[in-house]
Amino acid sequence: MTGRSVLYDVPGPRARRRNVGYTVAFGLAAAAIAWFVVSRLEDKGQLTTAMWGPFLEPSTWTGYLLPGLRTTVTAAVLAIVLALPIGAVFGVARLSDHRWIRVPAGALVELFRAVPVLVLMLFADFYYAYYTGVDSDVRPLFSVVVGLVLYNGSVLAEVFRAGITALPAGQSEASFALGLRKAQVMVSILLPQAVAVMLPAIISQLVVVVKDTALGGVILSFPDLMSNYRIVPANFQNVIPSLIVVGLIYVVLNGVLSWVASALQGWLAHRRGGGPELAAVTAATDIVAAHSDSL
Protein backbone atom coordinates (compact mmCIF):
# COMPACT_ATOMS: atom_id res chain seq x y z
CA MET A 1 0.00 0.00 0.00
CA THR A 2 1.48 3.33 -1.06
CA GLY A 3 1.19 6.67 0.72
CA ARG A 4 -1.19 7.92 -1.98
CA SER A 5 -3.69 5.10 -1.39
CA VAL A 6 -3.77 5.25 2.41
CA LEU A 7 -6.58 7.80 2.67
CA TYR A 8 -8.50 7.05 -0.54
CA ASP A 9 -8.79 4.49 -3.32
CA VAL A 10 -6.90 5.29 -6.49
CA PRO A 11 -9.52 5.72 -9.27
CA GLY A 12 -9.51 3.15 -12.00
CA PRO A 13 -10.02 3.71 -15.75
CA ARG A 14 -13.82 3.96 -15.50
CA ALA A 15 -13.66 6.34 -12.55
CA ARG A 16 -11.13 8.55 -14.34
CA ARG A 17 -13.37 8.72 -17.42
CA ARG A 18 -16.34 9.55 -15.21
CA ASN A 19 -14.36 12.30 -13.44
CA VAL A 20 -13.34 13.77 -16.79
CA GLY A 21 -16.98 13.75 -17.87
CA TYR A 22 -18.06 15.53 -14.69
CA THR A 23 -15.32 18.11 -15.14
CA VAL A 24 -16.33 18.83 -18.72
CA ALA A 25 -20.02 19.04 -17.77
CA PHE A 26 -19.40 21.47 -14.92
CA GLY A 27 -17.08 23.52 -17.14
CA LEU A 28 -19.74 23.80 -19.84
CA ALA A 29 -22.38 24.72 -17.25
CA ALA A 30 -20.13 27.44 -15.81
CA ALA A 31 -19.41 28.78 -19.29
CA ALA A 32 -23.14 28.87 -20.08
CA ILE A 33 -23.91 30.75 -16.88
CA ALA A 34 -21.09 33.22 -17.56
CA TRP A 35 -22.34 33.75 -21.13
CA PHE A 36 -25.88 34.37 -19.87
CA VAL A 37 -24.72 36.91 -17.26
CA VAL A 38 -22.44 38.76 -19.69
CA SER A 39 -25.12 38.88 -22.39
CA ARG A 40 -27.66 40.29 -19.94
CA LEU A 41 -25.19 42.95 -18.84
CA GLU A 42 -24.47 43.84 -22.45
CA ASP A 43 -28.19 44.16 -23.15
CA LYS A 44 -28.43 46.64 -20.28
CA GLY A 45 -25.44 48.56 -21.62
CA GLN A 46 -23.34 47.99 -18.50
CA LEU A 47 -20.27 46.71 -20.35
CA THR A 48 -19.98 49.40 -23.01
CA THR A 49 -16.87 51.54 -23.27
CA ALA A 50 -18.77 54.63 -22.14
CA MET A 51 -19.54 52.99 -18.79
CA TRP A 52 -15.83 52.57 -18.07
CA GLY A 53 -14.99 56.12 -19.12
CA PRO A 54 -15.44 57.75 -15.69
CA PHE A 55 -12.63 55.62 -14.30
CA LEU A 56 -10.24 57.14 -16.82
CA GLU A 57 -10.92 60.58 -15.39
CA PRO A 58 -8.51 61.67 -12.60
CA SER A 59 -11.33 63.48 -10.80
CA THR A 60 -13.11 60.16 -10.16
CA TRP A 61 -10.08 58.84 -8.31
CA THR A 62 -9.00 62.00 -6.51
CA GLY A 63 -12.53 63.03 -5.59
CA TYR A 64 -14.12 59.73 -4.55
CA LEU A 65 -12.14 56.50 -4.71
CA LEU A 66 -8.74 57.49 -3.29
CA PRO A 67 -10.17 59.42 -0.30
CA GLY A 68 -12.41 56.44 0.45
CA LEU A 69 -9.47 54.06 0.11
CA ARG A 70 -7.40 56.20 2.48
CA THR A 71 -10.18 56.11 5.08
CA THR A 72 -10.56 52.34 4.67
CA VAL A 73 -6.82 51.78 5.13
CA THR A 74 -6.76 54.10 8.16
CA ALA A 75 -9.58 52.24 9.90
CA ALA A 76 -8.10 48.84 9.03
CA VAL A 77 -4.61 49.74 10.25
CA LEU A 78 -5.91 51.17 13.53
CA ALA A 79 -8.09 48.11 14.11
CA ILE A 80 -5.25 45.69 13.30
CA VAL A 81 -2.74 47.51 15.51
CA LEU A 82 -5.16 47.40 18.45
CA ALA A 83 -6.72 43.96 17.88
CA LEU A 84 -3.43 42.04 17.69
CA PRO A 85 -2.10 42.90 21.17
CA ILE A 86 -5.57 42.66 22.70
CA GLY A 87 -6.00 39.22 21.17
CA ALA A 88 -2.58 38.12 22.44
CA VAL A 89 -3.30 39.37 25.98
CA PHE A 90 -6.70 37.71 26.22
CA GLY A 91 -5.43 34.53 24.55
CA VAL A 92 -2.75 34.23 27.23
CA ALA A 93 -5.22 35.23 29.96
CA ARG A 94 -7.51 32.35 29.00
CA LEU A 95 -4.65 29.96 29.81
CA SER A 96 -3.91 31.50 33.20
CA ASP A 97 -3.73 29.29 36.28
CA HIS A 98 -5.66 31.94 38.21
CA ARG A 99 -9.43 31.49 37.95
CA TRP A 100 -10.10 35.17 38.61
CA ILE A 101 -8.15 35.97 35.40
CA ARG A 102 -9.15 33.00 33.26
CA VAL A 103 -12.93 33.14 33.76
CA PRO A 104 -13.52 36.88 33.09
CA ALA A 105 -11.19 36.75 30.08
CA GLY A 106 -13.07 33.77 28.67
CA ALA A 107 -16.43 35.45 29.28
CA LEU A 108 -15.39 38.63 27.46
CA VAL A 109 -13.94 36.69 24.54
CA GLU A 110 -17.07 34.57 24.13
CA LEU A 111 -19.33 37.62 24.47
CA PHE A 112 -17.68 39.77 21.82
CA ARG A 113 -17.09 36.79 19.54
CA ALA A 114 -20.80 35.99 19.57
CA VAL A 115 -22.07 39.52 18.85
CA PRO A 116 -22.09 40.56 15.15
CA VAL A 117 -19.53 43.21 14.35
CA LEU A 118 -22.31 45.37 12.87
CA VAL A 119 -24.08 45.47 16.25
CA LEU A 120 -20.82 46.37 18.00
CA MET A 121 -20.33 49.29 15.63
CA LEU A 122 -23.86 50.53 16.32
CA PHE A 123 -23.38 50.27 20.09
CA ALA A 124 -20.11 52.18 19.84
CA ASP A 125 -21.73 54.88 17.72
CA PHE A 126 -24.62 55.33 20.17
CA TYR A 127 -22.19 55.48 23.08
CA TYR A 128 -20.03 58.13 21.43
CA ALA A 129 -23.11 60.12 20.38
CA TYR A 130 -24.86 60.24 23.77
CA TYR A 131 -22.14 59.85 26.40
CA THR A 132 -19.04 61.54 24.98
CA GLY A 133 -18.12 64.77 23.28
CA VAL A 134 -16.50 63.13 20.27
CA ASP A 135 -16.91 65.27 17.17
CA SER A 136 -19.43 63.96 14.66
CA ASP A 137 -16.83 64.08 11.89
CA VAL A 138 -14.61 61.45 13.53
CA ARG A 139 -17.32 59.52 15.38
CA PRO A 140 -17.93 57.06 12.50
CA LEU A 141 -14.20 56.24 12.37
CA PHE A 142 -14.05 55.64 16.12
CA SER A 143 -17.19 53.50 16.03
CA VAL A 144 -15.93 51.35 13.16
CA VAL A 145 -12.53 50.84 14.79
CA VAL A 146 -14.04 49.95 18.18
CA GLY A 147 -16.42 47.43 16.62
CA LEU A 148 -13.64 45.83 14.61
CA VAL A 149 -11.27 45.70 17.59
CA LEU A 150 -13.80 44.13 19.97
CA TYR A 151 -14.87 41.43 17.52
CA ASN A 152 -11.58 40.60 15.85
CA GLY A 153 -9.62 40.92 19.08
CA SER A 154 -11.80 38.19 20.60
CA VAL A 155 -11.39 35.98 17.53
CA LEU A 156 -7.63 36.50 17.55
CA ALA A 157 -7.58 35.60 21.25
CA GLU A 158 -8.91 32.17 20.33
CA VAL A 159 -6.36 31.89 17.52
CA PHE A 160 -3.48 32.66 19.89
CA ARG A 161 -4.86 30.29 22.53
CA ALA A 162 -5.18 27.49 19.98
CA GLY A 163 -1.64 28.09 18.76
CA ILE A 164 -0.23 27.95 22.29
CA THR A 165 -2.11 24.78 23.25
CA ALA A 166 -1.04 23.10 20.00
CA LEU A 167 2.66 23.38 20.88
CA PRO A 168 4.40 20.30 22.33
CA ALA A 169 4.10 20.10 26.10
CA GLY A 170 7.76 19.21 26.37
CA GLN A 171 8.79 22.78 25.64
CA SER A 172 6.95 24.09 28.69
CA GLU A 173 8.26 21.28 30.85
CA ALA A 174 11.85 21.89 29.75
CA SER A 175 11.49 25.62 30.38
CA PHE A 176 10.12 25.02 33.86
CA ALA A 177 12.99 22.61 34.51
CA LEU A 178 15.40 25.45 33.71
CA GLY A 179 13.79 27.51 36.46
CA LEU A 180 11.68 29.86 34.36
CA ARG A 181 8.42 31.25 35.68
CA LYS A 182 5.20 30.64 33.77
CA ALA A 183 4.99 34.26 32.64
CA GLN A 184 8.48 34.00 31.15
CA VAL A 185 7.65 30.70 29.47
CA MET A 186 4.43 32.08 28.02
CA VAL A 187 5.82 35.40 26.75
CA SER A 188 9.30 34.36 25.63
CA ILE A 189 8.88 30.70 24.62
CA LEU A 190 5.30 29.79 23.73
CA LEU A 191 3.69 32.97 22.40
CA PRO A 192 6.33 33.70 19.69
CA GLN A 193 6.03 30.14 18.41
CA ALA A 194 2.23 30.31 18.48
CA VAL A 195 2.36 33.45 16.34
CA ALA A 196 4.60 31.69 13.81
CA VAL A 197 2.43 28.57 13.76
CA MET A 198 -0.89 30.40 13.52
CA LEU A 199 0.27 33.17 11.17
CA PRO A 200 -1.93 31.98 8.24
CA ALA A 201 -5.02 32.06 10.49
CA ILE A 202 -4.01 35.45 11.87
CA ILE A 203 -3.62 36.89 8.37
CA SER A 204 -6.98 35.46 7.33
CA GLN A 205 -8.58 37.31 10.23
CA LEU A 206 -6.77 40.52 9.31
CA VAL A 207 -8.21 40.24 5.80
CA VAL A 208 -11.64 40.04 7.45
CA VAL A 209 -10.81 43.28 9.28
CA VAL A 210 -10.13 45.05 5.98
CA LYS A 211 -13.36 43.82 4.41
CA ASP A 212 -15.52 44.54 7.45
CA THR A 213 -14.63 48.23 7.32
CA ALA A 214 -17.24 48.39 4.54
CA LEU A 215 -19.99 47.79 7.12
CA GLY A 216 -19.40 51.24 8.56
CA GLY A 217 -20.13 52.85 5.22
CA VAL A 218 -23.49 51.11 5.09
CA ILE A 219 -24.89 52.09 8.50
CA LEU A 220 -22.77 54.92 9.93
CA SER A 221 -22.12 57.20 6.94
CA PHE A 222 -18.47 56.24 7.28
CA PRO A 223 -16.72 57.75 4.21
CA ASP A 224 -14.84 54.59 3.26
CA LEU A 225 -14.29 53.11 -0.18
CA MET A 226 -17.67 51.35 -0.31
CA SER A 227 -19.47 54.53 0.74
CA ASN A 228 -17.68 56.87 -1.66
CA TYR A 229 -17.89 54.61 -4.69
CA ARG A 230 -21.69 54.91 -4.75
CA ILE A 231 -21.35 58.49 -5.93
CA VAL A 232 -19.93 57.27 -9.24
CA PRO A 233 -22.86 55.05 -10.35
CA ALA A 234 -25.28 57.66 -9.01
CA ASN A 235 -23.86 60.12 -11.55
CA PHE A 236 -23.03 57.82 -14.47
CA GLN A 237 -25.40 54.82 -13.98
CA ASN A 238 -22.45 52.40 -14.33
CA VAL A 239 -23.25 50.14 -11.40
CA ILE A 240 -21.52 46.97 -12.61
CA PRO A 241 -18.25 48.63 -13.74
CA SER A 242 -18.11 50.50 -10.43
CA LEU A 243 -18.55 47.29 -8.44
CA ILE A 244 -15.88 45.56 -10.53
CA VAL A 245 -13.38 48.38 -9.97
CA VAL A 246 -14.06 48.53 -6.23
CA GLY A 247 -13.81 44.74 -5.99
CA LEU A 248 -10.44 44.81 -7.74
CA ILE A 249 -9.21 47.49 -5.33
CA TYR A 250 -10.12 45.25 -2.39
CA VAL A 251 -8.40 42.29 -4.09
CA VAL A 252 -5.21 44.33 -4.50
CA LEU A 253 -5.41 45.63 -0.93
CA ASN A 254 -5.82 42.17 0.57
CA GLY A 255 -3.21 40.79 -1.82
CA VAL A 256 -0.68 43.29 -0.49
CA LEU A 257 -1.59 42.28 3.07
CA SER A 258 -1.12 38.59 2.22
CA TRP A 259 2.20 39.32 0.51
CA VAL A 260 3.46 41.18 3.57
CA ALA A 261 2.36 38.26 5.75
CA SER A 262 4.14 35.74 3.52
CA ALA A 263 7.31 37.83 3.62
CA LEU A 264 7.04 38.04 7.41
CA GLN A 265 6.53 34.29 7.68
CA GLY A 266 9.60 33.67 5.51
CA TRP A 267 11.65 36.08 7.59
CA LEU A 268 10.58 34.38 10.81
CA ALA A 269 11.43 30.96 9.39
CA HIS A 270 14.87 32.19 8.30
CA ARG A 271 15.45 33.88 11.65
CA ARG A 272 14.54 30.75 13.58
CA GLY A 273 16.98 28.74 11.52
CA GLY A 274 16.74 25.39 13.26
CA GLY A 275 12.98 25.54 13.70
CA PRO A 276 10.68 26.20 16.65
CA GLU A 277 12.38 23.71 18.95
CA LEU A 278 15.81 25.31 18.53
CA ALA A 279 14.26 28.76 18.94
CA ALA A 280 12.63 27.68 22.19
CA VAL A 281 15.89 26.29 23.59
CA THR A 282 17.79 29.41 22.54
CA ALA A 283 15.22 31.73 24.12
CA ALA A 284 15.18 29.71 27.33
CA THR A 285 18.96 29.64 27.67
CA ASP A 286 19.13 33.38 26.98
CA ILE A 287 16.65 34.06 29.77
CA VAL A 288 18.49 31.80 32.19
CA ALA A 289 21.82 33.43 31.31
CA ALA A 290 20.37 36.90 31.81
CA HIS A 291 18.93 35.86 35.16
CA SER A 292 22.27 34.40 36.23
CA ASP A 293 24.09 37.57 35.23
CA SER A 294 21.69 39.64 37.29
CA LEU A 295 22.54 37.55 40.33
Question: pLDDT per residue over 103-118, tens digit each?
Answer: 999 999 999 999 999 9
- Alpha helices by DSSP H, listed for the chain, are 13-43, 49-52, 58-60, 66-93, 99-114, 117-131, 139-166, 169-177, 182-184, 191-197, 199-212, 214-219, 225-229, 231-236, 239-272, 276-294
Domains of the chain in sequence order = 61-294 (1.10.3720.10)
Most confidently predicted of 9-18, 30-39, 160-169, 285-294: 30-39
Express as a percent the part of the chain with pLDDT over 90. Answer: 41
Non-local CB neighbours of 60 within 8 Å, separated by 6+ positions: 54, 232
Supply the pTM of this predicted model.
Answer: 0.78
pLDDT of residue 294: 45
Angle of helix 276-294 versus helix 239-272 axis, rounded to 10: 60
291 pLDDT above the threshold of 70: no
3-class secondary structure, 21: helix
- Choose the weakest-confidence range: 153-167, 201-215, 267-281: 267-281
Average pLDDT value for residue range 51-73: 92
pLDDT above 60 for 1: no
Average pLDDT, the chain: 83
